[in-house]
Amino acid sequence: MWWLLLTLSALAEPGKDWLLFLPRENTYVCSREAGHSGRYSASLRSTPRADDVSYALLVQDLQAGNYRGRRVRFSGFLRSRLESGWCGLWLRVDGRQGQPLAFENLQKRPVLGRTDWNRYQIEMAVPAEASSVHYGGLLCERGQIWLDDFRLEVLGEAPAGLVELRKLRTLSEPSNLGFEE
């Protein structure tokens, strides 16, 4: 389970029910700053230790029960001030043994450079054998991003036969998606 290889930054303050995962310590900091629609957003910012292979993940984990066999959309607003690299949203579904069953991020349609608040989204089917759903934002390389107003929506039943390609605290429902807590 690759999550075990990542370092949890307990000093970061992304907001209630959110975690910051770093493959290398002290490469990014997380804070709450002025938001898109509420008082706060989550912000990820690289430190001088970040390089061209560094990245940070803002993460929320859910039990898959309410989403099994359904198609979901994860969306949110993102603003960027990147020096290098890219940023975006990500969504992953794991099986009972922690194996990834489905994964998508915005790497093929990355957010680059300097952007104002824009809405981005990812859709995928959650297989019936799913155990957990994980989602959030990511920053690769150097710069700063702001994330706000996330939503995880059920779009309907997953098409029949569709198969798509650690735990600290796994929630039963999405929580604090506007980063106000």
CATH of residue 122's domain is 2.60.120.260
| Within-domain flag for 135 | yes
| Within-domain flag for 177 | no
| Within-domain flag for 164 | no
| Within-domain flag for 162 | no
| Within-domain flag for 48 | yes
What's the rounded Cα separation, in Å, for the pair 154 and 1?
27
Q: Which amino acid is at 87?
A: C
| Within-domain flag for 125 | yes
For the stretch 5-39, pLDDT in tens is 334 443 356 678 888 888 888 888 888 888 898 88
| Within-domain flag for 167 | no
**How many separate domains does the chain show?**
1
Burial grade of 164 (CB within 10 A; 0-12, 13-18, 19 or more) = middle
| Within-domain flag for 179 | no
For the stretch 136-178, pLDDT in tens is 999 999 999 999 999 999 998 866 544 443 334 567 888 888 8
Task: Find the domain containing 84 and state its range.
Answer: 2-157
* 3-15: b (≥16 Cβ within 10 Å) or e: beebeebeebebb
